């Protein structure tokens, strides 16, 4: 959040940069990034597992670094570059980590796989 910014209890419009695209969303001050990704934008790769930042199922990249989106407020992601599992591949070409998971059958049930790749 910005210094001295007053936020009410209701949603406010914010812009996020997700997978290289500027995306306008509505976020209440306590809304987490994973909730915005899943519920408003339909980006369901980040999962809600433990909801306390311990399991990595919700991992995204913030400015190129892994971050738990269940512990990141959407308001705190403003002005940062957010990369989700959906934005990792380059068209039909998988990211090298994604390709390694495929080549080595590094998949379990699939629930945590996006978080493992992003971690």
For the entire predicted model, the pTM comes to 0.87
CB atoms within 10 A of CB 108: 9
Segment 32-46 shows an average pLDDT of 97
User: Structural domain boundaries of the chain?
Assistant: 13-117
pLDDT at 93 over 80: yes
Segment 78-82 shows an average pLDDT of 97
DSSP-derived secondary structure for 34-85: HHIIIIIT---SS--SSSSSSS-TTEEEETTEEEETTSSBGGGGTTSEEE-G
Give the model's pLDDT for residue 2.
Answer: 59
Query: Could you tell me which CATH class the domain 13-117 is placed in?
Result: alpha beta
């Amino acid at each position: 959040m910005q210094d001295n910014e007053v936020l009410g209890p209701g949603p406010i419009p914010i812009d996020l940069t997700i997978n290289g695209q500027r995306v306008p969303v509505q976020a209440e001050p306590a809304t987490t990034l994973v909730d915005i990704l899943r519920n408003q934008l339909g980006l369901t790769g980040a999962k809600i597992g433990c909801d306390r930042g311990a399991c990595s199922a919700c991992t995204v990249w913030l400015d190129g670094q892994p971050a738990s989106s269940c512990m990141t407020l959407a308001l705190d992601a403003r002005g940062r570059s957010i990369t989700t599992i959906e934005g990792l591949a380059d068209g039909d070409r998988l990211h090298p980590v994604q390709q390694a998971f495929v080549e080595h059958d590094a998949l379990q049930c699939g629930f945590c796989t996006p978080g493992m790749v992003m971690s």
